[in-house]
Amino acid sequence: MKRKEITTVTVIGAGDMGHGIAQAALLGGLIVHLYDTNNTSLQRGVDKINESLEILHRKGKIKAEEMQFCKTNLHPTLNFQEAIESSPFIFEAVPEIVELKRNLYSDMEKIASRNTIFASNTSNMKISEITKDLQYKDRVVGAHFFNPVVLMKLVEVIRGDETSDETMEITYDLCLKMNKTPVRVEKDSPSFIVNRINAPLRVFLGAIVDNEIAQPEEIDALMKFHGEPMGHFELADYVGLDVTYYSCQYRQQVLHQDYIPYKKLTEKVNSGELGKKAGKGFYDWSVGRPNIDV
Ligand code: 3HC
């Protein structure tokens, strides 16, 4: 049986990741309904998409008509019912708080058609934790994008304990259509592949900074010297220290006590210094990317 061809998607959450997923879907030729709970976030997401399209056009990476096609096919909305009811495929990109996700999925299940696929951009959560209260778990999958979505090709397509083969394959094909490089993660486990591999390193880097053995900028300069595009602390600022904090907290609960958020990270999050999105984290972002000399 020919797999369902997806031509329209909904993205729930217009933040850093949500707006990027929406843009990737637009660039893949899809019609996109972008939903957020408040107009400020929604408009910020739309502005970021338009700014990025302008950069791509200015650099000759997309033609004027492609840019116009994307702008025409983007439908921002504050109406949850409208965003969900007729969509065949929904990307969820809300904060990494399990209760928030569970409530959202229950609300989506009440409105969406039975065949609609729900794809979570969760950074670390087991899909089966998100689907705990759902009646239909076979249509829920992980689609973990990387920040910034417009530039990072990788997507982890994660099978939950009850995700169907069809859901996996439709999601995998959709990521290809969005010009991404999907990899299948066939077992529902915390942090999947990339974040699971990087997790231990973050514990040790946090300990170095907490014990004042070295400063974030020294560690980052060393990592860049060894070829990383960004060091750990710049990257944590870039994706958001709240995201990093929630990831550590989750791994500490489900994997190992040692994954506890390190002291300096906790201090930053408690003081609202969340990194690039707040203008300050381990670095000052108020005048653009920090200049970390190698
Ligand atoms: N839209 C379109 N193009 C953009 C853009 C945008 N918003 N921002 C930058 N670009 C383009 C630039 O124009 C430039 O194009 P060019 O190469 O043709 O000149 C290119 O992208 C590179 O941008 P910059 O020159 O500004 O900066 P860098 O060369 O330093 O690249 C970066 C920026 C791609 C972010 C690089 O620093 C990098 O790869 N950092 C690491 C990112 C990473 O590891 N992400 C994963 C984080 S973990 C994660 O997301 C998991 C989650 O669970 C938390």
Give the mean model confidence (pLDDT) for residues 231-254: 94
288 lines ligand 1 (CB under 6 A): no
Crossing angle of helices 263-270/194-210, nearest 10°? 90
251 touches 244 (CB < 8 A) = no
Which amino acid would we find at residue 236?
Answer: A
Q: What is the DSSP letter of 284?
A: B
CA distance linking residue 285 with residue 66, whole number of Å: 32
144 is catalytic: yes
Q: In angstroms, what is the span from residue 148 Cα to ligand 1's centroid?
A: 6
Asked if residues 259 and 198 have their Cβ atoms less than 8 Å apart, the reply is no
Is residue 51 flagged as an active site residue? no
Q: Is the CB of 154 under 6 A from ligand 1?
A: no
Contact assessment for residue 155 and residue 164, using Cβ atoms and an 8 Å cutoff: no
Pocket of ligand 1 contains residue 147 by CB under 6 Å: yes
Going by C-alpha positions, the residue among 185, 229, 176 that lies closest to residue 24 is 176
Mean pLDDT of 104-121: 97
Q: What tokens does 115 get?
A: 């065949």
Residue 160: pLDDT band (50, 70, 90) is: very high
* Catalytic site includes residue 87: no
Distance from the alpha carbon of residue 151 to the mean position of ligand 1, in angstroms: 6
193 CB less than 6 Å from ligand 1?
A: no
The tokens for 93 are 């990109």
Structure tokens at 24: 């990737």
What average pLDDT does the segment 41-60 reach? 98
pLDDT at position 1 over 50: no
123 is catalytic: yes
CB 117 within 8 A of CB 170: yes
How confident is the model over 131-147, as pLDDT tens digits? Answer: 999 999 999 999 999 99
Lowest mean pLDDT among 67-71, 83-87, 253-257: 253-257
Check if 120 has its Cβ closer than 6 Å to any atom of ligand 1: no
Q: Which long-range contacts does 262-265 make (Cβ < 8 Å, 24+ apart)?
A: 262/202, 262/203, 262/206, 262/207, 262/209, 262/210, 263/206, 263/210, 264/206, 264/209, 264/210, 264/216, 265/206, 265/236, 265/241
What average pLDDT does the structure give for the chain?
95
Q: Using CA positions, which residue lies closest to atom 30 of ligand 1? A: 229
Nearest CA to ligand 1 atom 22: 151
Q: Where are the alpha helices (DSSP H) in the chain?
A: 16-27, 39-58, 64-73, 80-85, 98-111, 127-130, 165-177, 194-210, 216-225, 232-239, 241-254, 263-270
Q: Which entry of 92, 109, 156, 234 is annotated as an active-site residue?
A: 156
- pLDDT of 3 higher than 60: no
Q: What is residue 53's three-state secondary structure?
A: helix
